[in-house]
Chains A and B, each alone.
Chain A
Amino acid sequence: MSKGVLFIDSLTVRYDHRVAISKISIKLDLGKFHVIMGPNGGGKTTLIRAIVGLVPYEGKIEIDGLNMKKYLKKHPIGYLAQRGAQFQSFPLTVLQVVEMGRYHFKESKAVRKKHARQYLNEVKMDSLANRSIGELSGGQQQRVLIARALATESKLMIMDEPLTGMDPRSQSKFYEMIERIKERYSLTIIISSHDVGFTTAYAENVFCINKHLVPHDEAAKLLNDPEIKKIYGSKIRLVEHHHLPSEEKEDV
Protein backbone atom coordinates (compact mmCIF):
# COMPACT_ATOMS: atom_id res chain seq x y z
CA MET A 1 0.00 0.00 0.00
CA SER A 2 1.71 3.20 -1.19
CA LYS A 3 0.13 6.59 -0.60
CA GLY A 4 0.78 9.42 -3.01
CA VAL A 5 1.86 7.20 -5.89
CA LEU A 6 0.54 5.24 -8.82
CA PHE A 7 2.06 1.86 -8.04
CA ILE A 8 2.41 -0.74 -10.78
CA ASP A 9 3.77 -4.11 -9.78
CA SER A 10 4.73 -6.98 -12.15
CA LEU A 11 2.23 -5.86 -14.76
CA THR A 12 1.88 -8.26 -17.68
CA VAL A 13 -0.66 -7.98 -20.50
CA ARG A 14 -1.25 -10.69 -23.06
CA TYR A 15 -3.30 -10.61 -26.25
CA ASP A 16 -4.21 -14.17 -27.25
CA HIS A 17 -1.14 -15.57 -25.46
CA ARG A 18 1.14 -12.99 -27.09
CA VAL A 19 2.89 -10.94 -24.42
CA ALA A 20 2.42 -7.22 -25.11
CA ILE A 21 4.16 -5.98 -21.96
CA SER A 22 5.95 -8.05 -19.37
CA LYS A 23 6.51 -7.63 -15.63
CA ILE A 24 6.52 -3.86 -15.53
CA SER A 25 7.00 -2.46 -12.02
CA ILE A 26 7.12 1.26 -11.40
CA LYS A 27 6.10 3.93 -8.89
CA LEU A 28 4.89 7.25 -10.26
CA ASP A 29 4.46 10.19 -7.90
CA LEU A 30 0.99 11.69 -8.01
CA GLY A 31 0.81 15.37 -8.93
CA LYS A 32 3.63 15.16 -11.50
CA PHE A 33 3.95 15.16 -15.26
CA HIS A 34 5.11 11.74 -16.45
CA VAL A 35 5.90 10.68 -19.98
CA ILE A 36 5.98 7.11 -21.23
CA MET A 37 8.40 6.84 -24.12
CA GLY A 38 9.18 3.92 -26.33
CA PRO A 39 9.23 2.78 -29.93
CA ASN A 40 6.11 1.96 -31.91
CA GLY A 41 4.83 -1.43 -30.81
CA GLY A 42 6.74 -1.17 -27.55
CA GLY A 43 3.61 -1.43 -25.40
CA LYS A 44 2.87 2.21 -24.48
CA THR A 45 -0.79 2.00 -25.47
CA THR A 46 -1.18 -1.37 -23.77
CA LEU A 47 0.24 0.00 -20.52
CA ILE A 48 -2.11 2.98 -20.65
CA ARG A 49 -5.13 0.80 -21.44
CA ALA A 50 -4.26 -1.44 -18.51
CA ILE A 51 -4.00 1.54 -16.13
CA VAL A 52 -7.41 2.91 -17.18
CA GLY A 53 -9.01 -0.54 -16.94
CA LEU A 54 -9.63 -1.25 -20.62
CA VAL A 55 -7.59 -4.46 -20.89
CA PRO A 56 -7.26 -7.38 -18.46
CA TYR A 57 -3.84 -7.80 -16.89
CA GLU A 58 -1.76 -9.85 -14.49
CA GLY A 59 -0.04 -8.07 -11.63
CA LYS A 60 -1.11 -5.16 -9.48
CA ILE A 61 -2.01 -1.53 -10.07
CA GLU A 62 -2.72 0.71 -7.09
CA ILE A 63 -3.39 4.41 -6.87
CA ASP A 64 -2.88 6.29 -3.62
CA GLY A 65 -2.95 2.96 -1.79
CA LEU A 66 -6.20 1.77 -3.40
CA ASN A 67 -6.66 -1.13 -5.80
CA MET A 68 -7.06 0.46 -9.25
CA LYS A 69 -10.05 -1.68 -10.28
CA LYS A 70 -11.98 -0.61 -7.17
CA TYR A 71 -10.83 2.99 -7.61
CA LEU A 72 -12.06 3.09 -11.22
CA LYS A 73 -15.57 2.04 -10.21
CA LYS A 74 -15.93 5.30 -8.29
CA HIS A 75 -13.48 7.61 -10.10
CA PRO A 76 -13.39 7.63 -13.89
CA ILE A 77 -10.01 8.66 -15.25
CA GLY A 78 -9.54 11.55 -17.64
CA TYR A 79 -8.46 9.53 -20.66
CA LEU A 80 -7.57 10.55 -24.20
CA ALA A 81 -7.20 7.68 -26.63
CA GLN A 82 -5.06 7.81 -29.73
CA ARG A 83 -6.89 9.94 -32.24
CA GLY A 84 -9.00 7.99 -34.69
CA ALA A 85 -11.28 8.86 -37.56
CA GLN A 86 -14.48 8.21 -35.62
CA PHE A 87 -15.23 11.89 -35.14
CA GLN A 88 -15.30 12.82 -38.80
CA SER A 89 -19.01 12.44 -39.46
CA PHE A 90 -20.59 11.84 -36.09
CA PRO A 91 -23.47 14.24 -35.39
CA LEU A 92 -22.54 15.40 -31.89
CA THR A 93 -21.79 18.99 -30.97
CA VAL A 94 -18.60 19.97 -29.19
CA LEU A 95 -20.65 20.66 -26.03
CA GLN A 96 -22.31 17.23 -26.20
CA VAL A 97 -18.90 15.55 -26.48
CA VAL A 98 -17.70 17.31 -23.32
CA GLU A 99 -20.97 16.37 -21.57
CA MET A 100 -19.89 12.73 -21.93
CA GLY A 101 -17.34 13.38 -19.20
CA ARG A 102 -20.20 14.16 -16.79
CA TYR A 103 -22.07 10.88 -17.37
CA HIS A 104 -21.29 9.44 -13.94
CA PHE A 105 -22.51 12.52 -12.08
CA LYS A 106 -26.12 12.58 -10.96
CA GLU A 107 -27.00 16.09 -12.11
CA SER A 108 -29.63 17.83 -14.18
CA LYS A 109 -29.17 18.51 -17.88
CA ALA A 110 -28.75 22.23 -17.18
CA VAL A 111 -26.00 21.64 -14.59
CA ARG A 112 -24.30 19.15 -16.91
CA LYS A 113 -24.23 21.72 -19.72
CA LYS A 114 -22.98 24.44 -17.36
CA HIS A 115 -20.04 22.28 -16.27
CA ALA A 116 -19.30 21.26 -19.86
CA ARG A 117 -19.14 24.93 -20.90
CA GLN A 118 -16.83 25.69 -18.00
CA TYR A 119 -14.33 23.04 -19.12
CA LEU A 120 -14.61 24.11 -22.75
CA ASN A 121 -13.74 27.61 -21.59
CA GLU A 122 -10.69 26.15 -19.85
CA VAL A 123 -9.29 24.98 -23.19
CA LYS A 124 -10.52 28.13 -24.97
CA MET A 125 -13.05 26.28 -27.10
CA ASP A 126 -16.31 27.66 -25.68
CA SER A 127 -16.93 29.76 -28.80
CA LEU A 128 -17.21 26.52 -30.81
CA ALA A 129 -19.55 24.76 -28.36
CA ASN A 130 -22.37 24.34 -30.86
CA ARG A 131 -20.25 23.25 -33.81
CA SER A 132 -20.23 19.60 -34.88
CA ILE A 133 -17.17 17.78 -33.59
CA GLY A 134 -16.40 16.54 -37.11
CA GLU A 135 -16.04 20.10 -38.40
CA LEU A 136 -13.08 20.83 -36.12
CA SER A 137 -9.42 20.46 -37.00
CA GLY A 138 -7.38 17.70 -35.37
CA GLY A 139 -5.83 20.11 -32.87
CA GLN A 140 -9.21 21.58 -31.93
CA GLN A 141 -10.68 18.10 -31.47
CA GLN A 142 -7.78 17.30 -29.17
CA ARG A 143 -8.59 20.29 -27.00
CA VAL A 144 -12.26 19.27 -26.84
CA LEU A 145 -11.18 15.83 -25.66
CA ILE A 146 -9.01 17.42 -22.98
CA ALA A 147 -12.07 19.41 -21.84
CA ARG A 148 -14.01 16.12 -21.76
CA ALA A 149 -11.27 14.51 -19.68
CA LEU A 150 -11.32 17.51 -17.30
CA ALA A 151 -15.11 17.24 -17.05
CA THR A 152 -14.72 13.87 -15.32
CA GLU A 153 -13.10 15.81 -12.42
CA SER A 154 -10.46 13.11 -12.24
CA LYS A 155 -7.15 13.99 -10.63
CA LEU A 156 -5.41 11.67 -13.07
CA MET A 157 -5.26 12.48 -16.77
CA ILE A 158 -3.79 9.92 -19.16
CA MET A 159 -3.21 10.64 -22.83
CA ASP A 160 -2.13 8.18 -25.47
CA GLU A 161 0.07 9.77 -28.16
CA PRO A 162 -1.75 13.12 -28.04
CA LEU A 163 0.91 14.77 -30.21
CA THR A 164 0.47 12.55 -33.25
CA GLY A 165 0.21 14.63 -36.40
CA MET A 166 1.04 17.94 -34.68
CA ASP A 167 3.74 20.26 -35.97
CA PRO A 168 6.45 21.39 -33.47
CA ARG A 169 4.74 24.70 -32.75
CA SER A 170 1.41 22.99 -31.98
CA GLN A 171 3.24 20.47 -29.80
CA SER A 172 4.82 23.29 -27.85
CA LYS A 173 1.44 25.00 -27.36
CA PHE A 174 -0.10 21.70 -26.34
CA TYR A 175 2.49 21.16 -23.61
CA GLU A 176 2.03 24.72 -22.36
CA MET A 177 -1.71 24.11 -22.03
CA ILE A 178 -1.19 20.80 -20.25
CA GLU A 179 1.19 22.44 -17.77
CA ARG A 180 -1.34 25.19 -17.05
CA ILE A 181 -4.17 22.70 -16.53
CA LYS A 182 -1.99 20.49 -14.37
CA GLU A 183 -1.20 23.37 -12.00
CA ARG A 184 -4.76 24.72 -11.92
CA TYR A 185 -6.41 21.39 -11.11
CA SER A 186 -3.50 19.72 -9.26
CA LEU A 187 -3.47 16.88 -11.75
CA THR A 188 -1.22 13.92 -12.31
CA ILE A 189 -0.52 13.79 -16.03
CA ILE A 190 0.69 10.70 -17.89
CA ILE A 191 1.38 11.04 -21.60
CA SER A 192 2.73 8.47 -24.02
CA SER A 193 4.94 9.65 -26.83
CA HIS A 194 7.62 8.35 -29.12
CA ASP A 195 8.95 11.84 -29.61
CA VAL A 196 12.08 12.42 -27.56
CA GLY A 197 12.83 16.12 -27.97
CA PHE A 198 9.73 17.94 -26.72
CA THR A 199 8.89 15.27 -24.22
CA THR A 200 12.12 15.63 -22.32
CA ALA A 201 11.81 19.42 -22.31
CA TYR A 202 8.54 19.42 -20.38
CA ALA A 203 8.22 16.16 -18.44
CA GLU A 204 9.12 15.86 -14.78
CA ASN A 205 9.65 12.14 -15.11
CA VAL A 206 10.24 10.03 -18.19
CA PHE A 207 10.28 6.28 -18.43
CA CYS A 208 10.71 4.08 -21.41
CA ILE A 209 9.10 0.77 -22.23
CA ASN A 210 9.87 -1.66 -24.96
CA LYS A 211 7.74 -4.66 -23.92
CA HIS A 212 9.43 -4.36 -20.52
CA LEU A 213 10.41 -1.32 -18.48
CA VAL A 214 13.76 0.10 -19.58
CA PRO A 215 14.99 2.69 -17.08
CA HIS A 216 13.15 5.65 -15.64
CA ASP A 217 14.73 8.76 -14.36
CA GLU A 218 14.94 12.46 -15.01
CA ALA A 219 14.65 13.28 -18.68
CA ALA A 220 18.21 14.50 -19.21
CA LYS A 221 19.77 11.39 -17.68
CA LEU A 222 17.49 9.14 -19.65
CA LEU A 223 18.98 10.13 -22.97
CA ASN A 224 22.44 8.92 -22.02
CA ASP A 225 21.22 5.48 -21.14
CA PRO A 226 22.71 2.84 -23.46
CA GLU A 227 19.39 0.96 -23.58
CA ILE A 228 17.62 4.07 -24.87
CA LYS A 229 20.30 4.54 -27.51
CA LYS A 230 19.74 0.93 -28.51
CA ILE A 231 16.01 1.56 -29.00
CA TYR A 232 16.17 4.94 -30.67
CA GLY A 233 19.57 4.74 -32.35
CA SER A 234 22.92 6.20 -31.37
CA LYS A 235 22.31 9.70 -32.77
CA ILE A 236 19.67 10.56 -30.18
CA ARG A 237 20.23 13.97 -28.59
CA LEU A 238 18.33 16.38 -26.39
CA VAL A 239 16.74 19.20 -28.37
CA GLU A 240 17.20 22.63 -26.83
CA HIS A 241 13.77 24.04 -26.37
CA HIS A 242 12.49 27.37 -25.13
CA HIS A 243 8.95 27.80 -23.85
CA LEU A 244 6.71 30.17 -25.76
CA PRO A 245 6.69 33.82 -24.72
CA SER A 246 3.61 34.73 -22.69
CA GLU A 247 1.76 36.58 -25.48
CA GLU A 248 1.83 33.44 -27.63
CA LYS A 249 0.29 31.40 -24.83
CA GLU A 250 -2.95 33.32 -25.22
CA ASP A 251 -4.10 31.39 -28.24
CA VAL A 252 -3.22 28.01 -26.81
Chain B
Amino acid sequence: MFDFLSLPFMQRALLGGEMVAVVAGIVSPILLFRKMSFMSVGISHGAFAGIALGILIGISPMWTAIAFAMGLGLLIGFVSKTGKLSEDATIGTFFAFSMALGIFLIDMSKGYHPDVMGYLFGDLLAISSSDVYFAMIILIIAALWYLFRGRAAIYSTFDEDFSRIVGIPVDIDYYVFMAVASLVTVVAVMFVGVILASSIMIAPAAASKMISKRFSNVTLLSISFGMLAVFGGIAFSFYTNIPSGPSVVFFVTAIFVISLGIKWSKNFVKS
Protein backbone atom coordinates (compact mmCIF):
# COMPACT_ATOMS: atom_id res chain seq x y z
CA MET B 1 0.00 0.00 0.00
CA PHE B 2 2.84 2.38 0.86
CA ASP B 3 5.08 1.30 -2.01
CA PHE B 4 5.28 4.95 -3.14
CA LEU B 5 7.53 5.57 -0.14
CA SER B 6 10.37 3.66 -1.82
CA LEU B 7 10.72 6.32 -4.53
CA PRO B 8 13.36 9.00 -3.72
CA PHE B 9 11.26 11.91 -5.04
CA MET B 10 8.31 10.75 -2.93
CA GLN B 11 10.55 10.51 0.13
CA ARG B 12 11.73 14.08 -0.46
CA ALA B 13 8.15 15.28 -0.97
CA LEU B 14 6.99 13.58 2.19
CA LEU B 15 9.92 14.70 4.34
CA GLY B 16 9.73 18.29 3.10
CA GLY B 17 5.93 18.37 3.22
CA GLU B 18 5.81 17.06 6.79
CA MET B 19 8.34 19.68 7.89
CA VAL B 20 6.17 22.39 6.32
CA ALA B 21 3.19 20.97 8.24
CA VAL B 22 5.15 21.13 11.50
CA VAL B 23 6.38 24.72 11.08
CA ALA B 24 2.94 25.89 9.94
CA GLY B 25 1.39 24.14 12.95
CA ILE B 26 3.78 25.93 15.30
CA VAL B 27 3.06 29.49 14.17
CA SER B 28 -0.48 29.29 12.82
CA PRO B 29 -2.38 29.14 16.16
CA ILE B 30 -0.87 32.52 17.07
CA LEU B 31 -1.83 33.91 13.64
CA LEU B 32 -5.33 32.59 14.13
CA PHE B 33 -5.91 33.94 17.64
CA ARG B 34 -4.41 37.29 16.69
CA LYS B 35 -6.96 37.38 13.85
CA MET B 36 -4.08 37.58 11.36
CA SER B 37 -4.96 34.53 9.26
CA PHE B 38 -5.13 36.71 6.19
CA MET B 39 -1.46 37.57 6.72
CA SER B 40 -0.33 34.27 5.22
CA VAL B 41 -2.27 35.19 2.06
CA GLY B 42 -0.56 38.58 1.89
CA ILE B 43 2.92 37.25 2.56
CA SER B 44 2.63 34.36 0.12
CA HIS B 45 1.73 36.86 -2.60
CA GLY B 46 4.69 38.98 -1.51
CA ALA B 47 6.85 35.87 -1.92
CA PHE B 48 5.57 35.56 -5.49
CA ALA B 49 6.91 39.03 -6.30
CA GLY B 50 10.22 37.92 -4.79
CA ILE B 51 10.28 34.74 -6.87
CA ALA B 52 9.65 36.83 -10.01
CA LEU B 53 12.50 39.19 -9.12
CA GLY B 54 14.85 36.23 -8.61
CA ILE B 55 13.93 34.93 -12.07
CA LEU B 56 14.44 38.39 -13.60
CA ILE B 57 17.89 39.01 -12.13
CA GLY B 58 19.00 35.39 -12.38
CA ILE B 59 19.51 34.38 -8.75
CA SER B 60 17.80 31.67 -6.72
CA PRO B 61 14.12 32.70 -6.34
CA MET B 62 14.20 31.29 -2.80
CA TRP B 63 16.41 34.11 -1.49
CA THR B 64 14.45 36.88 -3.17
CA ALA B 65 11.21 35.27 -1.97
CA ILE B 66 12.53 35.31 1.61
CA ALA B 67 13.59 38.95 1.27
CA PHE B 68 10.23 40.03 -0.18
CA ALA B 69 8.13 37.98 2.23
CA MET B 70 10.00 39.17 5.32
CA GLY B 71 9.99 42.74 4.03
CA LEU B 72 6.25 42.59 3.42
CA GLY B 73 5.60 40.84 6.76
CA LEU B 74 7.49 43.50 8.71
CA LEU B 75 5.90 46.29 6.66
CA ILE B 76 2.42 44.90 7.39
CA GLY B 77 3.36 44.72 11.06
CA PHE B 78 4.75 48.25 11.11
CA VAL B 79 1.81 49.87 9.31
CA SER B 80 -0.65 47.99 11.50
CA LYS B 81 1.15 49.00 14.70
CA THR B 82 1.76 52.63 13.83
CA GLY B 83 -0.76 53.57 11.18
CA LYS B 84 -3.89 52.67 13.17
CA LEU B 85 -4.95 50.34 10.37
CA SER B 86 -5.94 46.74 10.98
CA GLU B 87 -3.63 44.00 9.69
CA ASP B 88 -6.34 42.84 7.30
CA ALA B 89 -6.74 46.29 5.72
CA THR B 90 -2.96 46.61 5.37
CA ILE B 91 -2.60 43.14 3.85
CA GLY B 92 -5.51 43.77 1.50
CA THR B 93 -3.72 46.86 0.25
CA PHE B 94 -0.35 45.22 -0.31
CA PHE B 95 -1.07 41.72 -1.53
CA ALA B 96 -2.67 42.63 -4.84
CA PHE B 97 0.23 44.99 -5.48
CA SER B 98 2.71 42.16 -4.82
CA MET B 99 0.91 39.89 -7.24
CA ALA B 100 0.81 42.59 -9.92
CA LEU B 101 4.50 43.29 -9.35
CA GLY B 102 5.27 39.56 -9.67
CA ILE B 103 3.46 39.27 -13.02
CA PHE B 104 5.12 42.48 -14.22
CA LEU B 105 8.61 41.23 -13.31
CA ILE B 106 8.05 37.83 -14.93
CA ASP B 107 6.83 39.57 -18.07
CA MET B 108 9.98 41.70 -18.09
CA SER B 109 12.33 38.72 -17.90
CA LYS B 110 13.77 38.01 -21.35
CA GLY B 111 13.87 34.61 -23.02
CA TYR B 112 12.38 31.62 -21.28
CA HIS B 113 9.39 32.43 -19.07
CA PRO B 114 9.08 29.85 -16.35
CA ASP B 115 5.75 28.18 -15.69
CA VAL B 116 3.88 30.66 -13.53
CA MET B 117 1.34 27.99 -12.64
CA GLY B 118 4.15 26.00 -11.02
CA TYR B 119 4.82 28.81 -8.58
CA LEU B 120 1.17 29.57 -8.02
CA PHE B 121 0.11 26.01 -7.24
CA GLY B 122 3.44 24.35 -6.38
CA ASP B 123 4.50 20.77 -6.92
CA LEU B 124 5.51 18.76 -3.87
CA LEU B 125 6.73 15.93 -6.05
CA ALA B 126 9.27 18.17 -7.79
CA ILE B 127 11.07 19.46 -4.72
CA SER B 128 14.83 19.11 -4.52
CA SER B 129 17.15 18.11 -1.69
CA SER B 130 18.10 21.76 -1.18
CA ASP B 131 14.39 22.58 -0.68
CA VAL B 132 14.30 19.91 2.04
CA TYR B 133 17.38 21.42 3.73
CA PHE B 134 15.74 24.84 3.54
CA ALA B 135 12.63 23.45 5.24
CA MET B 136 14.84 21.90 7.92
CA ILE B 137 16.49 25.27 8.67
CA ILE B 138 13.09 26.97 8.95
CA LEU B 139 11.91 24.15 11.21
CA ILE B 140 14.85 24.77 13.56
CA ILE B 141 14.18 28.54 13.57
CA ALA B 142 10.46 28.04 14.28
CA ALA B 143 11.16 25.48 17.03
CA LEU B 144 13.68 27.83 18.71
CA TRP B 145 11.19 30.69 18.51
CA TYR B 146 8.49 28.56 20.13
CA LEU B 147 10.86 27.33 22.83
CA PHE B 148 12.09 30.78 23.85
CA ARG B 149 9.24 33.14 22.93
CA GLY B 150 6.19 30.86 22.62
CA ARG B 151 4.78 31.47 26.11
CA ALA B 152 5.30 35.22 25.83
CA ALA B 153 3.61 35.20 22.40
CA ILE B 154 0.59 33.34 23.78
CA TYR B 155 0.36 35.77 26.70
CA SER B 156 0.56 38.89 24.53
CA THR B 157 -1.99 37.41 22.12
CA PHE B 158 -4.36 36.89 25.07
CA ASP B 159 -3.80 40.21 26.86
CA GLU B 160 -1.33 42.66 25.36
CA ASP B 161 -1.59 45.33 28.07
CA PHE B 162 -1.01 42.97 30.97
CA SER B 163 1.85 41.34 29.08
CA ARG B 164 3.55 44.74 28.81
CA ILE B 165 3.04 45.29 32.52
CA VAL B 166 4.74 42.03 33.52
CA GLY B 167 7.71 42.92 31.35
CA ILE B 168 7.13 41.07 28.08
CA PRO B 169 8.75 43.03 25.22
CA VAL B 170 5.49 42.94 23.27
CA ASP B 171 6.59 45.08 20.30
CA ILE B 172 9.90 43.30 19.74
CA ASP B 173 8.16 39.94 20.08
CA TYR B 174 5.57 41.05 17.54
CA TYR B 175 8.16 41.85 14.88
CA VAL B 176 10.16 38.69 15.62
CA PHE B 177 6.96 36.68 15.21
CA MET B 178 6.14 38.46 11.93
CA ALA B 179 9.62 37.57 10.64
CA VAL B 180 9.28 33.91 11.68
CA ALA B 181 5.74 33.69 10.24
CA SER B 182 7.04 35.19 6.97
CA LEU B 183 9.81 32.56 6.73
CA VAL B 184 7.30 29.80 7.41
CA THR B 185 5.00 31.18 4.71
CA VAL B 186 7.89 31.23 2.22
CA VAL B 187 8.69 27.58 2.83
CA ALA B 188 4.99 26.77 2.42
CA VAL B 189 5.00 28.70 -0.88
CA MET B 190 8.06 26.80 -2.11
CA PHE B 191 6.28 23.49 -1.46
CA VAL B 192 2.60 24.03 -2.25
CA GLY B 193 2.65 27.31 -4.17
CA VAL B 194 1.46 30.87 -3.62
CA ILE B 195 -2.26 30.18 -3.84
CA LEU B 196 -2.36 27.07 -1.65
CA ALA B 197 0.15 28.12 1.02
CA SER B 198 -2.48 29.88 3.08
CA SER B 199 -4.52 26.69 3.26
CA ILE B 200 -1.73 24.63 4.82
CA MET B 201 -0.92 27.62 7.06
CA ILE B 202 -4.36 28.19 8.48
CA ALA B 203 -6.81 25.30 7.97
CA PRO B 204 -5.10 22.82 10.39
CA ALA B 205 -5.03 25.44 13.17
CA ALA B 206 -8.63 26.49 12.45
CA ALA B 207 -9.70 22.82 12.62
CA SER B 208 -7.91 22.21 15.91
CA LYS B 209 -9.22 25.44 17.44
CA MET B 210 -12.76 24.12 17.04
CA ILE B 211 -12.17 20.93 19.02
CA SER B 212 -9.59 21.88 21.64
CA LYS B 213 -9.73 24.03 24.76
CA ARG B 214 -5.99 24.23 25.54
CA PHE B 215 -3.50 26.27 23.57
CA SER B 216 -0.89 23.50 23.74
CA ASN B 217 -3.45 21.04 22.36
CA VAL B 218 -4.41 23.45 19.57
CA THR B 219 -0.74 23.60 18.55
CA LEU B 220 -0.21 19.82 18.77
CA LEU B 221 -3.41 19.07 16.85
CA SER B 222 -2.57 21.72 14.29
CA ILE B 223 0.78 20.03 13.63
CA SER B 224 -0.83 16.57 13.55
CA PHE B 225 -3.64 17.63 11.18
CA GLY B 226 -1.13 19.26 8.84
CA MET B 227 1.09 16.15 8.82
CA LEU B 228 -1.90 13.90 8.21
CA ALA B 229 -3.08 16.08 5.33
CA VAL B 230 0.39 16.12 3.73
CA PHE B 231 0.71 12.33 3.97
CA GLY B 232 -2.81 11.71 2.71
CA GLY B 233 -2.49 14.35 -0.01
CA ILE B 234 0.81 13.02 -1.37
CA ALA B 235 -0.40 9.41 -1.34
CA PHE B 236 -3.67 10.40 -3.02
CA SER B 237 -1.77 12.42 -5.59
CA PHE B 238 0.51 9.45 -6.36
CA TYR B 239 -2.29 6.96 -6.87
CA THR B 240 -4.72 9.22 -8.71
CA ASN B 241 -2.14 11.18 -10.69
CA ILE B 242 -3.58 14.56 -9.68
CA PRO B 243 -1.29 17.50 -8.74
CA SER B 244 0.08 17.13 -5.21
CA GLY B 245 -0.59 20.71 -3.98
CA PRO B 246 -4.35 20.66 -4.57
CA SER B 247 -4.47 17.10 -3.23
CA VAL B 248 -2.98 18.22 0.11
CA VAL B 249 -5.44 21.12 0.22
CA PHE B 250 -8.37 18.71 -0.35
CA PHE B 251 -7.23 16.67 2.66
CA VAL B 252 -6.65 19.69 4.87
CA THR B 253 -10.09 21.05 3.96
CA ALA B 254 -11.67 17.64 4.69
CA ILE B 255 -10.08 17.69 8.17
CA PHE B 256 -11.47 21.20 8.70
CA VAL B 257 -14.97 20.08 7.68
CA ILE B 258 -14.79 17.03 9.97
CA SER B 259 -13.74 19.25 12.90
CA LEU B 260 -16.60 21.59 12.10
CA GLY B 261 -18.97 18.60 12.16
CA ILE B 262 -17.58 17.48 15.55
CA LYS B 263 -18.05 20.97 16.96
CA TRP B 264 -21.61 21.20 15.66
CA SER B 265 -22.53 17.79 17.03
CA LYS B 266 -21.07 18.70 20.44
CA ASN B 267 -23.11 21.91 20.48
CA PHE B 268 -26.19 19.99 19.36
CA VAL B 269 -25.79 17.43 22.18
CA LYS B 270 -25.29 20.25 24.73
CA SER B 271 -28.45 22.03 23.59
Using a CB–CB cutoff of 8 Å, the interface residues on chain A facing chain B are 49, 52-54, 72-73, 76-77, 79, 81, 86-87, 90-93, 96-97, 100-101, 103-104, 132, 148, 152
Contacts A86-B158, A100-B155, A100-B159 given; does A93 touch B214 at CB 8 Å: yes
Whether B212 pairs with A91 at a CB distance below 8 angstroms is: yes
B38 to chain A, nearest CB (A): 18
Q: How far, in angstroms, from A52 to B159 measured CA to CA in the complex? A: 15
Whether B162 pairs with A100 at a CB distance below 8 angstroms is: yes
Whether B165 pairs with A91 at a CB distance below 8 angstroms is: no
Q: How far, in angstroms, from A52 to B141 measured CA to CA in the complex? A: 34
Whether A54 pairs with B164 at a CB distance below 8 angstroms is: yes
List which B140-182 residues lie within 8 A (CB) of chain A: 151-152, 154-155, 157-159, 161-168
Whether A104 pairs with B213 at a CB distance below 8 angstroms is: no
Chain A residues closer than 8 Å to B168, beta-carbon distance: 103
Q: Which of B166, B212, B215 meets A103, CB within 8 Å?
A: B166
A182 to chain B, nearest CB (A): 20
Whether A52 pairs with B165 at a CB distance below 8 angstroms is: yes
Q: How far, in angstroms, from A77 to B167 measured CA to CA in the complex? A: 10
Q: How far, in angstroms, from A104 to B157 measured CA to CA in the complex? A: 17
Contacts A103-B168, A104-B166 given; does A92 touch B154 at CB 8 Å: yes
A16 to chain B, nearest CB (A): 9
Q: How far, in angstroms, from A246 to B159 measured CA to CA in the complex? A: 35
Whether A92 pairs with B167 at a CB distance below 8 angstroms is: no
* 10 CB-based A-B contacts, threshold 8 Å: A53-B165, A54-B165, A86-B159, A91-B209, A92-B158, A100-B162, A100-B163, A103-B168, A104-B167, A148-B162
Q: How far, in angstroms, from A49 to B162 measured CA to CA in the complex? A: 11
Quick one: closest A residue to B151, CB to CB?
A: A103
Chain A residues closer than 8 Å to B155, beta-carbon distance: 100, 103
Q: How far, in angstroms, from A87 to B33 measured CA to CA in the complex? A: 11
Q: How far, in angstroms, from A54 to B170 measured CA to CA in the complex? A: 12
Quick one: closest A residue to B33, CB to CB?
A: A90
Chain A residues closer than 8 Å to B128, beta-carbon distance: none
Q: How far, in angstroms, from A79 to B173 measured CA to CA in the complex? A: 21
Chain A residues closer than 8 Å to B157, beta-carbon distance: 90
Q: How far, in angstroms, from A152 to B165 measured CA to CA in the complex? A: 10
- Name the 3 nearest CB pairs between A and B, nearest first: A103-B166, A132-B213, A104-B167
Q: How far, in angstroms, from A100 to B167 measured CA to CA in the complex? A: 11
Chain B residues closer than 8 Å to A96, beta-carbon distance: 215
Size of interface on B: residues with Cβ below 8 Å to A? 23
Chain B residues closer than 8 Å to A152, beta-carbon distance: 165-166
Whether A100 pairs with B212 at a CB distance below 8 angstroms is: no
Quick one: closest A residue to B210, CB to CB?
A: A89
Quick one: closest A residue to B166, CB to CB?
A: A103
B270 to chain A, nearest CB (A): 12
Quick one: closest A residue to B167, CB to CB?
A: A104
Chain B residues closer than 8 Å to A86, beta-carbon distance: 158-159
Q: How far, in angstroms, from A92 to B166 measured CA to CA in the complex? A: 18
Whether B166 pairs with A91 at a CB distance below 8 angstroms is: no
Chain B residues closer than 8 Å to A148, beta-carbon distance: 162
Contacts A91-B218, A103-B168 given; does A79 touch B161 at CB 8 Å: yes
A6 to chain B, nearest CB (A): 16
Contacts A86-B158, A86-B159, A90-B33 given; does A101 touch B166 at CB 8 Å: yes
Taking the complex as formed, is B217 at the interface, i.e. its CB lies under 8 A from any CB of chain A? yes
Chain A residues closer than 8 Å to B154, beta-carbon distance: 92
Q: How far, in angstroms, from A52 to B162 measured CA to CA in the complex? A: 10
Most chain A CB inside 10 Å of its own CB: which residue of B161, B165, B168, B215: B165
Q: How far, in angstroms, from A100 to B158 measured CA to CA in the complex? A: 10
Contact with A along B188-230 (1 / 0, CB 8 A): 0000000000000000000001001111011000000000000
Whether A91 pairs with B215 at a CB distance below 8 angstroms is: yes
Chain A residues closer than 8 Å to B151, beta-carbon distance: 103
Chain B residues closer than 8 Å to A92, beta-carbon distance: 154, 158, 214-215
List which B3-27 residues lie within 8 A (CB) of chain A: none
Chain A residues closer than 8 Å to B162, beta-carbon distance: 79, 81, 100, 148
Chain A residues closer than 8 Å to B212, beta-carbon distance: 91
A162 to chain B, nearest CB (A): 14
Q: How far, in angstroms, from A96 to B154 measured CA to CA in the complex? A: 11
Contacts A86-B158, A92-B158 given; does A100 touch B214 at CB 8 Å: no
Quick one: closest A residue to B84, CB to CB?
A: A16
Whether B33 pairs with A76 at a CB distance below 8 angstroms is: no
Q: How far, in angstroms, from A52 to B164 measured CA to CA in the complex? A: 10
Chain A residues closer than 8 Å to B33, beta-carbon distance: 90
Q: Which of B166, B215, B217 meets A100, CB within 8 Å?
A: B166
Chain B residues closer than 8 Å to A77, beta-carbon distance: 165
Q: How far, in angstroms, from A93 to B215 measured CA to CA in the complex? A: 9
B157 to chain A, nearest CB (A): 8
Chain A residues closer than 8 Å to B217, beta-carbon distance: 91
